[in-house]
Structure 1
Amino acid sequence: MNDSALPEKGPGSSRLVMVGMPAAGHVNPSLPIMRELTRRGVNVTYYTSDEFQAVVEDAGCEFRGYPANTLGPADIAEATRTGGPVRVVARILQATETLLPFLLTDLEADCPAAIAFDSNAIWGRMAAASLGVPTISLMTTIMIGGKDLSGLTSREWFQSVREAVPGVPATRSAKRRVVRRFGKQLYPPAPGLPMRGDLTIFPVPRWMQSANPRIDERCHFVGPTISLEGRNGHPEPELATVLDGPEPLILVSLGTLHAGSDAFFRACFEALAGLPARVLLTIGPHVDPARLGRPPANTLIRASMPQLEVLRRTAVFVTHGGMNSALEGLACGVPLVLVPQQVEQLVIARVITDRGAGVVLRHNLSNRPVPAAELRAAVEHALTDSSLRTAAHAMGSSLGEEGGAVAAAEAIQSFLCGATKHK
């Protein structure tokens, strides 16, 4: 759509507030949608932590930062590493005690036409309920149901329960404090997280979502909002050398929230050292490379890297299977070796492997180390079996069919028009 085809300002240009979950995997899928909305004349105010100010403003939104030391990427990552999803919920509830009053005070003088919120940002949903405005949920992954959980082994069930139980008391206590302070009528209705809205946008393909009674006519699957255009960066010289080498490139990354163990990265050393390939090992900010020992000659270690830029040149992607990483790999036509760290990632991995585009190693879900021999075999299979790359290319080619950011913006703009008319 060119600029001359944009709708005139009017009901469709109503003010929208976006309440974000301050983690890259949650913010990144929302930005192309917000960019498209602002391009259409919608006035978007985006609330998140200061780390994301530049990218939010680059999307054309007005940035509003959360109060210092309330909630940021490091807090969510720490909760994920130390207690999984249950501890993350406790941390979210703790932050809600500060973020809800902050949000209500900020919006008191200028109430928006609607509040959009990340499906885990409880304070956004509660602010909308307090102000009596319509809600838009951004659901950045699939919704897990009973059918998805039936595929867990008994050992995986035991480990997931074992991980969750220590965080339950803190989560219950935090919920009681929030309900007591702000009232039960504002708290999201059961079953709680992830939360739907009057309109719910899923920036994921419809085929990734299994049958679930919570999926109804208010839910819109628009496919991923990934843009592969305009990202030609200039990597530092050592990384550029690895990216431009003649051998196939293997990228290993467990995402921004799930820190791989020293044992896993050493297994990568052992498994991949002898392969005629270049290896880029992304270990995150919480692993000290000195603890891992000397890397093999074919391996470069980095705390982080420009993932999409690297994936464009990658032959095999060893990933935890988070939704963003999985979709970015497929968008670039890269076969995946999936090492899920939690149940949601296993569900994503199974969908991908069922369609022939990857191999899954489930060991971490039952608290077992990934054997170097099995990791090597999985990577070699992904390198040499052309059917995996063919399937990844086919899946990647289909990712734009549901419209992505444009379809999401159209659904939101239509919703805003209706919300404005019924005020």
Structure 2
Amino acid sequence: MTADQRSQGGSSHQEEAKANGEAGSKRQLPVLVMTAIPMAGHVQPTIHVAQAMVQRGFEVIFITASEFREKVQDAGAEWVEAAKFMTEEDAAARNEIPVPVRVLFDLEKLFLPAIPVRTATVRTVLERIRERDPAREVIVVAESISAAVVGFKYGAPLPRGYDAFPKTIGLNVVPLVVSSDDTAPFGPGLPPDATESGRARNRLLNAGLLEGPFKVIVEKQKQIFTDMGCTRWPERALFDCWLESFDTLFQMCSPSLEYPRADLHPSIRYAGALPKKGISPNYVYPAWWSEIQSNTALPAGAPEKKFVIAVAQGTIATSYDEVIIPTIRALAQREDVIVIALLGVKGASLSADVEIPANTKVVDYMPYDAALEHADLFVSNGGYGSMTHGVINAVPMVVAGMTEDKTEVCARAEYAGLAINLKTQTPSSEEIAAAVQKVLANPKYKEKAVRLMKENQDLDCLAIIEREIMLYSQK
């Protein structure tokens, strides 16, 4: 089977076994050890994959923080505890750091110190599996930014009972952070440029970043890996070695949502965005939900049919003053619009001094897909999960975010033709109103959203991941 065939999804391993006359063998599937950095935007898509693999017959052991224990167990996986990503003290200190340099704080104080702990937890889980069942095959499926398997790639001591580290599959649920001659450094949201002059610019900027602001981070990572017992060091430093340390790394989107790179590492492939997970039968819709359903049921062009605009703030940068409240105010006078404001947390509410217009519905928590199935446009602060939910629902977007990786997510949404990027953390109501009107009035945004949805559906993300697991099984 060629790499191209592997990247196109296909039938499940059960169907392949039947086709090869192996259906009667009933050999035991490998156990999957999965982990993700304990942040909602990283854990939730990884749990989505875990649940799908459980449904396909795999045993899954999932390592993450206690706040996600119930979700892991609901997915049918065994939960193993890991430390939280950030304490309240960490969060307070982080909020004091100016946004442009916050990534340095995140790396030095939060990401790097946690790598030895995550590595040790993976080692312990693998050793327990070997003690319990010495013959059981294991494959590690890890969210890339957890960096939990990188040390083993570079010579950290193997778990007891293993003469080689298990095969590893990475899931990258953020924009690609690998350096390239075709792209500027990750962070400022500069567009790709593969011209001769652009590649010269990119090489200069990438080298300058590692020799300048990131030099202390690179040196600290080297020391951490040395202390873990690593015997060699990757030629490509920092994020590159995180993503390139897997036998296969899946970028969880289609190629159109990323920048083209002629020098992309051969282990990195596109799997497509995760499909809709489905709404829990236990979810209780708000009392006004029938109004949304009735509006959707109206035929296109009906004079009483309204545009449905969903707006959400995400899971990390959660100040409602940044996107949600300005959007409510921007559209308050539009009688042809219904706004669904998704606060994102059960029990959350807007402050009492925020006036809620007649055309606005506010809900503390609602799955994105529930709202987006009825939406004509999605206003977001640019989280990667928000963007991919927009894609799988074929909903064009207006994005505004500058913290974490949001500058780069917003830039990619704009590059793909999915969104208008306001290029600010705090858009005004006037900016939002103008952008919303531009998207609604120009069919090219909806047409592009539909094409992106189909492109991602055709890849069949979960089938690709399952196929790769089976290709590595008992190699």
Instruction: Tell me which interval the TM-score lies in, with the shorter structure as reference length.
Output: 0.7 to 0.9
Counterpart code for 2:410: A
How far the C-alpha of 1:396 sits from its partner, in A, is 1.3
TM-score (norm 1): 0.79
Separation (CA, whole Å) in 2 of partners of 1:10 and 1:104: 29
Contact 2:369 2:389 in 1 (8 A): yes
What secondary structure is seen at the aligned counterpart in 2 of 1:417?
coil
Q: Which residue of 2 aligns with 1:14?
A: 30
Q: Does 1:102 align with 2:121?
A: yes
How far the C-alpha of 1:290 sits from its partner, in A, is 1.8
Q: Which residue of 1 aligns with 2:15?
A: 5
Higher helix proportion, which one? Answer: 1
Q: Which residue of 1 aligns with 2:251?
A: 202
How far the C-alpha of 1:65 sits from its partner, in A, is 2.0
Separation (CA, whole Å) in 2 of partners of 1:17 and 1:298: 47
Q: Which residue of 2 aligns with 1:409?
A: 466
Within 5 Å, give how 1:343-362 maps onto structure 2: 344-362=405-423
Larger Rg: 2
How far the C-alpha of 1:176 sits from its partner, in A, is 6.8
Separation (CA, whole Å) in 2 of partners of 1:5 and 1:363: 49
Within 5 Å, give how 1:147-296 maps onto structure 2: 147-149=182-184, 152=190, 175=221, 178-179=224-225, 181-185=227-231, 190-193=236-239, 194-196=242-244, 197-212=246-261, 215-227=264-276, 229=278, 234-238=283-287, 240=289, 243-244=292-293, 246=295, 247-260=306-319, 262=321, 264-276=323-335, 277-284=337-344, 289-290=350-351, 293-296=354-357
How far the C-alpha of 1:328 sits from its partner, in A, is 1.2
Q: CA RMSD in A?
A: 3.8
Within 5 Å, give how 1:339-418 maps onto structure 2: 339-342=400-403, 344-364=405-425, 369-418=426-475
Separation (CA, whole Å) in 2 of partners of 1:237 and 1:53: 27
Contact 1:357 1:388 in 2 (8 A): yes
Separation (CA, whole Å) in 2 of partners of 1:103 and 1:75: 26
Deviations 1:99-133 (A, max 9, x none): 33333234324346332221111233335643241
Q: 1:130 to 1:59 in 2, by over 3 A?
A: farther
Q: Which residue of 2 aligns with 1:142?
A: 175
Larger deviation, residues 268-277 vs 108-117: 108-117
**How many residues are aligned here?**
402
Q: Does 1:319 align with 2:335?
A: no
How far the C-alpha of 1:309 sits from its partner, in A, is 0.6
Q: 1:387 to 1:199 in 2, by over 3 A?
A: closer
Counterpart code for 2:34: M
Identity of aligned residues (%): 19
Q: Does 1:24 align with 2:83?
A: no
Separation (CA, whole Å) in 2 of partners of 1:139 and 1:252: 25
**Structure 2 residue aligned with 1:130, among 157, 160, 165?**
157
**Structure 1 residue aligned with 2:64, among 48, 69, 77?**
48
| Structure 2 alignment gaps of length 5 or more | 1-10, 18-22, 131-136, 159-163, 192-212, 296-305
Larger deviation, residues 226-235 vs 196-205: 226-235
Larger deviation, residues 333-342 vs 241-250: 241-250
Q: Which residue of 1 aligns with 2:196?
A: none
How far the C-alpha of 1:33 sits from its partner, in A, is 3.2
Separation (CA, whole Å) in 1 of partners of 2:410 and 2:454: 18
What secondary structure is seen at the aligned counterpart in 1 of 2:129?
coil
